[in-house]
Amino acid sequence: MERIRKVIFYKRYFLDFASELSPKILAKISRVIDLIEIIERVPEKYLKHIAGTNGLFEIRIAAGTNIFRIFCFFDKGKLVVLMNDFQKKTMKTPANGIERALKIKKEYEDSK
């Protein structure tokens, strides 16, 4: 299948988190990333803009009762850069997670 976007990992933020997950959860994350790469209009169920931010999104993964979020952003419209993430335990995305993601996004942009 043709890829519309390319997903990359910025530094080791995501990889360090992923190394602690079960193979079942990693497989689910991989399927969602594949969808993001091949679907023109990704449903909000899988990719949602975080209100009040400049271009910060969260990839949304539900695996049974576990809910995971992976912060990301677009670069040049086609590139999704995966950053830090967390296991969601409350209804609201934690402000400190958003702040960290915005710092990582700025770090990425400044390094270009």
Three-state secondary structure call for residue 108: helix
Q: How is residue 102 written in tokens?
A: 């915005």
Q: What is the pTM of this model?
A: 0.85
How does pLDDT run across 7-63, given as a tens digit for each residue? 988 888 888 888 888 899 899 999 999 999 999 999 999 999 999 998 999 998 888
